[in-house]
Amino acid sequence: MIKKIFKFLLKIAGFLILFSLFMVLLYKWVPVPFTPLMAIRYFENPEEKIQHTWVPREEISLHLQLGVIASEDQNFVKHNGFDFEAIEKAIENNQKGKRMRGASTISQQTAKNVFLWPGRNWLRKGLEVYFTFLIETFWSKERILEVYLNSIEMGTGIYGAEAAAKRWFSKSSANLTVNEAAAIAAILPNPREYRANPASNYINQRKNWIVRQMQNYGKFSLE
């Protein structure tokens, strides 16, 4: 009986691993139509209309591409999914009792947004590490950023760069200016609470900081 149960569990584990590999490889080329977070938001509030339009990375303003990297993950091009220096700084910062500081990379956020659910338990974090490793192995940096910019929550019911640009600035994501892109990037820590336009004093301060980081970053390239 124990052997049968063990074999059954192994089969389930094997199926889940193969299925996860299949989904990662599928999304290497196919646009992500829906995410677990969208489903969760829908069931939390069915009246909340989901705004989401997939666009290729080439049709998203370079200002926004650089803006999210400057604000969320400045070592995105250099690391392999995990920024260990940022993790160490976050641990030191939190141990000193200072304001809680995260260290999730764009790759980690993409893995969480596309394949998982919000949460801080060990199971979810372990799966995040697993899926981050997979997308860093099978996807290019360009693809990771493309999926990130098309799936991340950028306001109440707003998912992805195109929907955010239209909601906050009534224009296509391809035409965002530096300041508009920085304003959208500025609300990412809590997009359901903050507004990109009109922006609060706090968001304006973050936007100005992001613009400076974008200027200091230098020439933007994912190569």
Q: How far apart are CA 68 and CA 66, in angstroms?
A: 6
Could you tell me the mean pLDDT of each successive run of 10 residues in the chain, 223 residues long?
80 92 97 94 91 96 96 93 77 61 85 91 92 97 98 96 98 97 96 95 97 92 76
Instruction: Using alpha carbons, select from 193, 198, 197, 191 the residue that is nearest to residue 72.
Output: 191
Q: Token digits for 199?
A: 């922006």
pLDDT value of position 102: 60
Q: Output the pTM of the full model.
A: 0.91
Instruction: Using alpha carbons, select from 115, 43, 78, 12 the residue that is nearest to residue 221.
Output: 78
Q: Name the residue type at position 45.
A: N
| Order of strands across the sheet that contains 153-155 | 51-52, 158-159, 153-155
Q: Token digits for 154?
A: 């950028």
pLDDT value of position 8: 80
Q: How far apart are CA 78 and CA 48, in angstroms?
A: 38
Quick one: which H or E segment has residue 143? Answer: helix 141-151
pLDDT value of position 223: 67
Q: How far apart are CA 124 and CA 141, in angstroms?
A: 23
Q: In the CATH scheme, what is the code of domain 31-217?
A: 1.10.3810.10
Domain coordinates of the chain in residue numbers?
1-30, 31-217
- Helix and strand element counts for the chain (H, E): 10, 3
